Copies of this chain bind each other. A is one copy, B any other.
């Protein structure tokens, strides 16, 4: 095995260790073991792509104490459970199944008793999976509004401000309905920065936005006359104080609620660094909230790889620098790829000819963009392999066509669906012997 291969093997082992550390069941068990929990019956509710796995882990931990529960997950994300019902629903477009399940979630929360423990398992995708329209609105109103906002270019925070004010479970709504004296919110975060109120639109979290904010978002994008009339009327009544606001910081309902981020990109990054150290690398976690245009972040990663390999800074090789985050791709071309592939292709150009350097970008859900790859791992010879395979890497990058370029270079990473979804993971690696 050449040094280059050994480096790849190590990086891949580090990726796998990072993925294992954010497996939803493992995250929940790790958290529950460290928590100081009261006795009493346990109910498990929740929503999100990982919610079934999280619920199963709760059953494993609490055993006979689990009285029942319901989680809503995406099609194909169910796993076997014993007492907690798993409902599948539409994602990313909310559907009737999700609405029905959301209604049951609300009812279940209301049926809990003061001396019960309500465990709420929350993960990415939960926003779309459990839509419960406010009184007077229906699913079509919700979908239409969401679709208008999406096409307008509204930010996630802006979309959430509106969603929290036209739906019932979001913005702390689920917590408010619970009678249980203890509400433990276990959150697998797919949001950069891990803001609790942003993940699945914060069903158990204080909402920092108001009816006023929701309205101003619509006005800001010129949508106030384009949303369904019932939505407009609902928000107007909210503005007039005729409808109760979402749960706010300091609200008494939150006194019973604890939030715990059980897994996140920061967690995956820590696990990656630990695994790298076990393999004999000097490891540093550099950042866990990386955002920005994928190709530009890739260039910065390449500069760090160069410094490691060529100057032995900030630590001498063998070294691994770990980052986590979520980049974006501004699409100019009609190619195939994903944000991690694009980051990797750009990094490949940045480390062209550098020996013993590696940059890896991995989507923790195993699916990078609309492709079957999870990401890619590039080295100083990647561009050479691309050209040998008939692909000009700069042209591929210009066309957002990273997949075929990385494919001919043998640089794509495949994990299959991982069952988890936190931030993306980036590794910058410099090997020992090829300096």
Contact = CB atoms under 8 A, between A and B. Distances in A.
Contact of A293 (B286, B293, B323): B293
B307 A291 contact: no
A418 to B, nearest CB: 23
Contacts of A307: 285-289
Interface string A275-313: 000000000111111111100110110011011000101
Contact of A286 (B266, B286, B296, B350): B286
Contacts of A291: 299, 303, 350
Secondary structure of the A contact surface, majority rule: mixed
A380 to B, nearest CB: 14
Contacts of A173: none
A299 B292 contact: yes
Contact of A296 (B297, B314, B350): B297
A337 interface: no
Contacts of A300: 287, 290, 292, 296-297, 300
A201 to B, nearest CB: 21
Contacts of A296: 292-293, 296-297, 300
Copy number in the complex reads: 2
A303 B290 contact: yes
Interface residues of A, number: 27
Contact of A303 (B287, B303, B306): B287
A311 to B, nearest CB: 7
A234 B313 CA distance: 46
Nearest to A315: B284
A98 interface: no
A215 B379 CA distance: 31
A325 interface: yes
B292 A304 contact: no
Given A296-B296, A297-B296, A289 B303 contact: yes
Contacts of A193: 306
A323 B307 CA distance: 10
Contact of A311 (B266, B297, B304): B266
A54 B284 CA distance: 39
A290 to B, nearest CB: 5
Contacts of A350: 291
Nearest to A300: B300
Contacts of A290: 299-300, 303
B311 A286 contact: no
- Among A285, A314, A323, max chain B CB count under 10 A is at A314
A325 B306 CA distance: 12
17 contacts: A193-B306, A284-B314, A285-B307, A285-B311, A286-B314, A287-B303, A287-B306, A287-B307, A288-B311, A289-B306, A290-B299, A292-B296, A292-B299, A292-B300, A293-B293, A296-B296, A314-B321
Q: Which 3 A-B pairs have the closest CB atoms?
A: A296-B296, A284-B314, A287-B303
